[in-house]
Amino acid sequence: MDPAGKTGRGLEKAKGQIRIERILAEIPGAREQMMVGIEDLGPTFDKQAIERAMRSGDPREKNKVAVIERELDVLISYVDELAKRSLAEGQRLGVVTKGNVPAMDRLVELGALARGTADRLQSVKEMRNQLAHAYPPMAWRALCEAVETLLAELDHFVVGLAKWLRENSVA
């Protein structure tokens, strides 16, 4: 955002546009926090490392996993909100027509995301539900898979969406 809070067209930015920019600015910090949590867990990030920490009697060890789970949840929420808000802003600005498909699928249709990225991020969102309801070790496996998938796809999502937002003057 420029110092005057204006878009390139000289108009005040809408709340949705400002929120999109804020989320895009917050993602690197949340990603870094997750990476620090992963490093704190030990030399490897896998189901066994998560299991060791969770079975430990030391609350500090368990908290290492809690940090990773929390940042995973934050990043998944950011991805989901960015997808929905981007489409809503596009509709508000008249560059996108309303679609009857989930936000990720609509972004694929619009060329903002690759199909594989959208599908893998959707699977991460579904894994979050497993984490909330599964018992160990299923939850540990889901956490490991979700983190690995999210980290592999997050940059593709952010770069593709940011490019689409710029090209369409959405944010």
Domain ranges of the chain: 15-167
Find out if CATH 1.20.120 is the number for domain 15-167: yes
Residue with structure tokens 């903002």? 112
Instruction: Give me 44's structure tokens.
Output: 């490897």
How many angstroms separate the Cα of 114 from the Cα of each of 54, 86, 153, 166?
36, 16, 10, 17
Q: Lowest mean pLDDT of 83-87, 133-137, 159-163, name the range.
A: 133-137
pLDDT value, residue 3: 42
- CA-to-CA distance for 67 and 54, rounded, in angstroms? 12
Whole-model pTM: value is: 0.88
- Side chain identity at 89, as an amino acid letter? E
Is the CB of residue 165 less than 8 Å from the CB of residue 1? no
Per-residue pLDDT of 31-66, as tens digits, reads: 999 999 999 998 889 889 999 999 998 999 999 999
Is the CB of residue 120 less than 8 Å from the CB of residue 133? no
C-alpha dihedral, 134 to 136 to 138 to 144, nearest 10°: 110
- CA-to-CA distance for 49 and 139, rounded, in angstroms? 13
Per-residue pLDDT of 61-85, as tens digits, reads: 999 999 999 999 999 999 999 999 9
Instruction: Give me 2's structure tokens.
Output: 């420029």
- CA-to-CA distance for 58 and 160, rounded, in angstroms? 42
- CA-to-CA distance for 69 and 34, rounded, in angstroms? 8
